[in-house]
Copies of this chain bind each other. A is one copy, B any other.
Amino acid sequence: MDAEFDRGGRASAIDAVEALVFDMFGTVVDWRKSVAADVADLLEQWLPGVDPHEFADAWRGEYQPSMERVRNGSRPFVRLDALHRENLESVLDRLGVPSGTVPSPDLAEANLAWHRLDPWLDAVPGLTRLRRRFIIAPLSNANVRLALDVAKRAGLPWDAILGAEVAGAYKPEPAAYLRTAEILGLEPGQVMMVAAHNSDLAAAQDCGLRTAFVRRPTEHGPGQTSDLEPEGAWDLVAEDFEDLANQLL
């Protein structure tokens, strides 16, 4: 923990914050419930008996490995929509539906499930309050169009859509955080990363950003075991976005 935090420094460090940047999947939106509901019809046709939530988990399970191939340089930057599509096909294949079975337009439509994610109920009212004092933007691995579609459908009042595609790097690469601060014309310490994931906050903190942990104990369903508690010296810990607004405003 920085020395400045020891006695009263925490408040002044937070006073310097001009922009709040948000992780999206899990932090702003309930991807698991939304994707499960969205793909239910597809599954009924091609994989009857497969639980939609388990399918959503399997699809999401490919998320980090697919980005890792970009992060480690095995392939050039490709937007998340393309990774989601590849991951959908590989999950279907693994479950016994080989590539080419489902018509391509149906796969494209299923892939748009990620553009129709519902926000947690506190997200819109919390962001609406926070926007009065701060610049607010997603700093997500979502590509611009995905984040834009989610925001437009859900009414998320972002000031801009930032993130991996604009930065040209996937979190938790330092460039994702540092380039976002640079685009905002701010020093890293003037930007606060808001996330429900300790690993995201750790990477942001390493880059000099301020950090706020928001509890989302059902992101992975009722049996969630990870990210139930803050695991680092984060600047703030909040129950939800309304609580975050209460603490910051």
Residues of A within 8 A of B (CB): 81, 135, 143-145, 148, 151-152, 158-162, 165-166, 183-185
Contact = CB atoms under 8 A, between A and B. Distances in A.
Given A145-B183, A184-B145, A185-B145, A152 B165 contact: no
A158 B158 CA distance: 9
Contacts of A148: 135, 159-160, 184
Copies of this chain, whole number: 2
B159 A183 contact: no
A81 B159 contact: no
A183 B135 contact: no
A121 B225 CA distance: 53
A159 B166 contact: no
Contacts of A166: 144, 166
5 contacts: A135-B152, A145-B183, A148-B160, A160-B161, A161-B161
Contacts of A135: 148, 152
Given A144-B184, A145-B183, A145-B185, A159 B165 contact: no
A80 to B, nearest CB: 11
A183 B148 CA distance: 11
A160 B145 CA distance: 9
Contacts of A161: 159-161
Contacts of A184: 144-145, 148
A34 to B, nearest CB: 19
A184 B144 CA distance: 7
Contacts of A185: 81, 143, 145
Contacts of A183: 143-145, 165
A185 B142 CA distance: 13
B145 A152 contact: no
Q: Which 3 A-B pairs have the closest CB atoms?
A: A145-B185, A160-B161, A144-B183
Nearest to A166: B166
A231 B183 CA distance: 35
Contacts of A144: 160, 162, 166, 183-184
A19 to B, nearest CB: 9
Contact of A159 (B143, B151, B162): B151
Given A135-B152, A144-B162, A145-B183, 10 more contacts: A81-B185, A143-B185, A144-B160, A144-B166, A144-B183, A144-B184, A145-B184, A148-B159, A151-B159, A161-B161
